[in-house]
Chain A
C-alpha cells in the first residue's frame, strides 16, 4: 500500500540558511500534519492543512511557513535556521472522517 513520502530524508544546513521539506500524502488523503521531534523529545505538532487551507496551528516558529498545494502535497519552509531547529520532522496524512493518521519516515534536519 502507498505510504506517506517525505523528501529529502536527510538534510544538512548551516545556521541562517533556509530549508524546504516536502511531504506527499497517501492518495485521497486530504489532510496533512507536520510534527517536529527534537533529540530525546516527543513529537510536537506544528501545523496542519485540510483541503489546502490551514486548519490548525501549534508551536510553529514565525520563521517557519507551510502550505498545501492543489495536488495535496505540502511543503514546510524554514528560514534563518538555528541550531535548535535540528530535529526529525514528520509529516502525517489522514482522510477526513477516518480515525488514524499515517506518518511518513521523517526528514532528519541537522543545522551546523
Chain B
C-alpha cells in the first residue's frame, strides 16, 4: 500500500519570501504521478502542480515548483514570492494509473500561513 507523509503540520512565511513544503511517499510502483493540492478557507480543492514519475525534469507552474527526488521518494513544493492568497492547507497526493482509474492517496496536509 502507498503512503504519503507530510511532516510539517504548520508553517508560516513572510509575504514575498520563499517557502518549501515537504512530502515523502512510499510505494513499490515504478510509474505513478504526484500532485500538490491547495485548499483555501473556501474548502475548494485546487490542483496546484503535478509531476509524472518517469520525467526527471521538475514541474513548475508560475511561482510554484517541485523538487522531485525519485530515489529518495521525496516531492517537495517550493512557493516563491509568497502572497497572502497562498494562505491555505496544502496536500501532497500520490496516484497510480490502474486501467484509467487513478485513486489518490493523500498526506495529512500542511497549514501554510503567509504573514504580511
Pairing of A with B: no
